[in-house]
Structure 1
Amino acid sequence: MEISYWVVAALLALMYLYSGGKKVAQDKERLRPMMGWVDTVPMPYVRGIGTLELLGAAGLVLPPLTGIAPWLALAAAIGFVLLQIGGITLHLSRGESRLIGLNVVLLAAAVAAAWLATVWL
């Protein structure tokens, strides 16, 4: 079960490091082609989401790796579940139902990571 957690957590962490890094470092014009929703959300919120993604990626990996507060991995995975529910809701409210595929995959992976993270409880 631990190996399964590490596979899922590593993939999620890489995805959120990339996504969060872009949201934190790039301006609205550079984000727009990939994330059309940035036009409807104030940039401080976009930056905040990016920061949460970076912190969550660290939370998936560092606590179990170091053995310090490994329950934080479960909290990070649950945070990603909530983040993806929000992302799906935003896309559906904008009439972008065809764009939720990645969100659904990330939601399923976050649910799996949360379940697998219970190994450290």
Structure 2
Amino acid sequence: MNLALWIVTGLLAVVALAGGITKTFVPKKKLAEANGGEWTADVSVGFVKTLGVLELLAAVGLILPAVLDIAPVMVPVTAVCWILLMVGAMTTHFRHGEFKLVVLNLAYLAMAVFVAVGRFGPESFSS
């Protein structure tokens, strides 16, 4: 179970890192032209960049606390925050009719639930 949690956490961290880098450093106009990025046309540059920074922080929060053994409880807390972020992403993509992305975000949400439940419960770092 611990190995499965690490694998899923690593995958989520990679997703968060990729999304964070994209939203933080790619110009909003280019994002709006990309498949799945149409939603950025409806929001401010600051909002997109803020989401990008939050995703970068999520990537860090999913891995480093456990690796460094400094406040490892932050791993499941970060997973819960990722769940909330995915609910927002699903809502946004649903409003834009991007149903494939809704399903993809639902998969990321399910992975985060797995990490949160596993790390708060039977495979917590404190046990």
Match of 1:9 in 2: 9
> 1:56·1:76 contact (CA, 8 Å) conserved in 2?
yes
Amino acid in the other structure paired with 1:104: L
What residue is the counterpart of 1:51 in the other structure?
53
Report deviation, 1:73.
0.4
Deviations 1:7-59 (A, max 9, x none): 00100001110110010001012212131110011110110001000001100
Contact 2:29–2:41 under 8 Å retained in 1: no
Q: 2: CA distance between counterparts of 1:51 and 1:105?
A: 22
Residue-pair matches, total: 121
Match for 2:19: what amino acid? S
Deviation per CA, 1:58-92: give whole Å up to 9, x if none: 00000011111001001110011000000111122
- Equivalent runs, 1:1-121 vs 2, <5 Å: 1-32=1-32, 33-34=34-35, 35-118=37-120, 119-121=124-126
Q: Counterpart of 2:71 in structure 1: which amino acid?
A: A
Tell me, in whole angstroms, the C-alpha distance in 2 between the residues paired with 1:99 and 1:42: 21
8 A Cα contact 1:4 1:116, kept in partner: no
Once superposed, which parts of structure 1, at least 4 consecutive aligned residues long, lie more than 2 Å away? Answer: 93-99
Structure 2 length-normalised TM:
0.89
Partners in 2 of 1:41 and 1:60 — Cα distance?
27
Kept in 2: contact 1:74–1:114 (CA 8 A): yes
Q: Whole-Å Cα distance in 2 between the matches of residues 62 and 28 of structure 1?
A: 29
Structure 1 portions without partners, runs of 5+: none
Matched letter for residue 47 of structure 2: Y
